[in-house]
Every structure is written in structure tokens, then in C-alpha cells.
Amino acid sequence: MKELRHITAKHPWSGMAVAADEAQFLNMILKLMNAKRTLEIGVFTGYSLLATALALPEDGQILAIDPDRKNYELGLPVIEKAGVAHKIDFRESQALPVLDELMQEEKYRGWFDFVFVDADKENYMNYHKRVMELVRVGGVIGYDNTLWSGTVVAEPEYPVSEYVMEMKDRFLELNRHLAADPRIEICQLSISDGLTLCRRIS
Ligand SMILES: C[S@@+](CC[C@H](N)C(=O)[O-])C[C@H]1O[C@@H](n2cnc3c(N)ncnc32)[C@H](O)[C@@H]1O
């Protein structure tokens, strides 16, 4: 908790009190879970990936998927300097085909301790269908951005761009879907742009 106090801030748009550093929070959760095998959908320059890699044991494994290798390679020297690059299996690809491939293999059913979804928002529902099969019972899926800049609870006249407004309905749909899914217990945290943790219970 001491660490969390250091990273509390105000959300830039909604003014909500939020923990600013989501990656630091992920790092703590993964350590508490003793997670060993994780899946990350959406890497960018590898900030959350580094936080994850630092939390896993020496023989921990992260399958990280992103179609943009250039950004991953931009952050890679930092990951290497931290001595955790050996834990990462980076796949340069759209996530859906990789997830579909994994689902064909019996080994990967219930394989992951933790899944972090932080990629194209349009596909979160498609990811949920798949990652529910890939995470173990007792494991956790984290969905990023589920407060969507505070718009999921904002008045309709809240001043945001067309894209943000359009995606707001997707997040409302996702949030309702997650809340109603009997296979998981959920907890929505006001960290950064909102992080929903889903623990698979069946
Ligand atoms: C918000 S960034 C990820 C940030 C990273 N998780 C972090 O916290 O440091 C979103 C990433 O999702 C990736 N992305 C977009 N569409 C994707 C897809 N279909 N499959 C996998 N990754 C995708 C983008 O290339 C981008 O790097």
C-alpha cells in the first residue's frame, strides 16, 4: 500500500482519484499471485511488459502479442538491461489469430496465470471469448481502459471526441458483459483509465 500512495493522482479529464501507474500495480498483483505464465495482448514499447517480466520468477514466461515490432524494439534495450528479456516470447501479429492457434492446442487450455488485455478496444469482447479458455481457473484477466476516460459514468453532454464517444458504448457493453459472466468474479479499479480484474472461478 505504501507504493500505491506514491502513485495516486487525478485523472486528467474526469478528475477522479486514480493510481497513476498501472504497470506498477500489475507488478504487485503478479507477485502476490506468484504468477509464472502470462499473456499480454498489446505491447507498444513494453512498459507493462517490463513491469510484468520483473514480477515473474527467473523461469517465468510471457507470451506478448503486438503487430508493431518497431515499438517493441524501441523499448527492448531497457528490458534487456533489466535482465528479463529471456522471459518474453514476442509474437509480431494481430492477437486473434495467435489466440485461435493457442486454442487448438490442448496444452494451452488453462495454461496462463494472468492475461493483460490492452490492445484494440473493438476486439475486447472477442478476446474475452478466447482468453477465458486460456487462463486457468483461479487465474486473472486484466482489461485495461474500462473507465474509458470516465465516460462510462459521465453525462451525455460530457465533452469528448467522436471516437471516444463511439467506443464508450463498447466499454459499457463489455462492462455489462463481464459483470454478468458467471465464470468470473470481477473488480473494477480506478487505476489510470480503469482496470477490470476478472478472476476465473469456473
Ligand atoms: C495502449 S498500447 C499497449 C500499451 C502497453 N500494454 C503498456 O501498458 O505499456 C496498445 C497496443 O495494442 C496494439 N494493438 C493494436 N491492435 C492490436 C491487435 N489486433 N492485436 C494485438 N495488439 C494490437 C498496438 O499496436 C499498441 O502497441
How far is the CA of 87 from the CAs of 56, 62, 74, 93, 198, in angstroms?
8, 6, 18, 19, 24
Mean pLDDT of 175-197: 95
pLDDT at 6 over 70: no
> What is the per-residue pLDDT across 95-123, written as a single tens digit (0 to 9) for each?
999 999 999 999 999 999 999 999 999 99
pLDDT value, residue 77: 97
Q: Which residues have a Cβ under 8 Å from the Cβ of 191 and sit 6 or more positions away?
A: 18, 19, 22, 25
pLDDT at 19 over 60: no
> What is the per-residue pLDDT across 62-80, written as a single tens digit (0 to 9) for each?
999 999 999 999 999 999 9
pLDDT value, residue 198: 98
Q: Which three cell numbers stand for residue 34?
A: 506468484
Mutate to test the pocket of ligand 1, among 24, 102, 118 (most ligand atoms within 8 A of CB): 118
pLDDT value, residue 7: 47
Q: Which three cell numbers stand for residue 74?
A: 524501441
Mutate to test the pocket of ligand 1, among 21, 43, 47, 127 (most ligand atoms within 8 A of CB): 43
- Calculate how far, in angstroms, residue 153's C-alpha sits from the geometric centre of ligand 1: 25
- Calculate how far, in angstroms, residue 120's C-alpha sits from the geometric centre of ligand 1: 6
Mean pLDDT of 133-155: 94
Separation of alpha carbons 2 and 105, rounded Å? 42
Q: What is the mean pLDDT of the chain?
A: 91
- Calculate how far, in angstroms, residue 154's C-alpha sits from the geometric centre of ligand 1: 26
- Calculate how far, in angstroms, residue 198's C-alpha sits from the geometric centre of ligand 1: 20
pLDDT at 150 over 70: yes
Q: Which residues have a Cβ under 8 Å from the Cβ of 174 and sit 6 or more positions away?
A: 124, 125, 128, 143, 146
Separation of alpha carbons 48 and 69, rounded Å? 16
Number of Cβ within a 10 Å radius of residue 42: 21
Separation of alpha carbons 127 and 178, rounded Å? 12
Q: Within 13 Å, how many C-alpha atoms sit on residue 139's CB side?
A: 21
Atom of ligand 1 at shortest range from CA of 42: 12
pLDDT value, residue 2: 46
- The rounded Cα 158 to chain-centroid distance in angstroms is 26
**Ligand 1 proximal residues by C-beta, below 6 Å:** 23, 41-44, 47-48, 65-68, 71, 94-95, 118-120
Separation of alpha carbons 25 and 187, rounded Å? 14
Taking CA atoms only, the protein residue closest to ligand 1 atom 16 is 120
Q: Of 1-10, 48-57, 175-184, which gets the smallest average pLDDT? A: 1-10
pLDDT value, residue 15: 58
Cβ-based burial of 70 (10 A; exposed 0-12, middle 13-18, buried ≥19): exposed
pLDDT at 1 over 50: no
Atom of ligand 1 at shortest range from CA of 23: 8
